[in-house]
Structure 1
Amino acid sequence: MLRISLRDGEALIINGALLRASGRTDLIVENQAALLRGREIMTPEEADTPAKQLYFACMMAYIGEDSEKHRDSIIDALRLLMPTLDDIAAKAACVAFANHVAVGDYYKGLAQCRALIAHEQAANSNTVAA
């Protein structure tokens, strides 16, 4: 059982369906479901870097009905991202991500992607500062 509290207007995806709270809402999920809260949801327009494209592809595999059809997008995004990484920790996060995806644990893959996005943002801010 999972208890979720949503603020007024907050989005939630459950098994691919986008829901939006009207007023403060408490939900109890009593069985297995693919869930993403508002801060975890990414729009296609927000996927504007290689790490974000990887996150978006993984998110679609997680919430979509046919995760297999999204695997090609995940592989393509990994191919774009890997050459941009110079940090061994970021490459290790990619390997961990690939391991999660290989066994179908897309939610844990999303957590690895958030770390990759943070690394990408830090690397970009260092490039801009230099």
Structure 2
Amino acid sequence: MALKLSLKPGEKIVVNGAVIVNGDRRSTLVLQNKASLLREKDIMLAEEVDTPVKHVYFPIMLMYMDEKGFKKYHEEFVLRMTELLGVVENPEAKTLCVAISKDVMDGEFYKALMKCKKLFEYEKVRLAYVPESISDDTTGE
């Protein structure tokens, strides 16, 4: 089954590890066979990995894009997902974590990445939460 992509001017994609940059006009690409493909918006750089969910997302992305390093990335994923599951209390978020793990076990890395992105909003809300007793005590007394 072919995959049709519409690319914005200057948009980057990674196909099987090769970075491709679209020219100055909108264009369409058709991939005729299976390939590991990520759009620029789905690519995370190592220096952007600064939250627990991003620590889960990053090794999944690497497993998807670099099968030679699979074992190392998988070990990192298992460690980070175990840590995340240890602190997540929300039942929907836990269910999503389990679904992500299942996708990884099934080799469905792109599906796992898209599910993982759904956890970013949950995490954003949780990390922004500061209990009132802490936020009101700005004097340190």
- TM-score > 0.5 by shorter chain: yes
- CA radius of gyration, larger in: 2
Within 2, Cα distance between the matches of 1:65 and 1:98?
17
Structure 1: where are the runs of 5+ without partners?
none
- Does residue 113 in structure 1 map to residue 116 in structure 2? yes
Q: Taking every aligned residue pair, what percent have the same amino acid on both sides? A: 34
Question: In the alignment, what sits opposite 1:69?
Answer: 72
Distance apart, 1:128 and its partner CA: 3.7
Question: Aligned-pair distance for 1:19?
Answer: 1.4
**Greater shift in the superposed pair: 30-39 or 67-76:** 67-76
| Pairwise CA distance, 1:51 | 0.2
Name the stretch that deviates more: 56-65 or 79-88: 79-88
1:15 paired with 2:16, answer: yes
The one-letter amino acid paired with 1:15 is: N
Number of aligned residues: 129
Relative to structure 1, the CA distance from residue 10 to residue 86 in structure 2 (aligned partners, 3 Å threshold; closer, same or farther) is: same
Q: Which amino acid aligns with 1:45?
A: E
Name the TM-score, length of structure 1 as normaliser: 0.91
What's the CA shift for 1:115? Answer: 1.3
Moved over 4 A (4+): none
**Structure 2 letter corresponding to 1:96:** A
Kindly indicate whether the alpha-carbon contact (under 8 Å) linking 1:16 and 1:65 is maintained by their aligned counterparts in 2.
no
- CA-based RMSD of the aligned residues comes to 1.5
Offset at residue 92 of structure 1 (A): 0.6
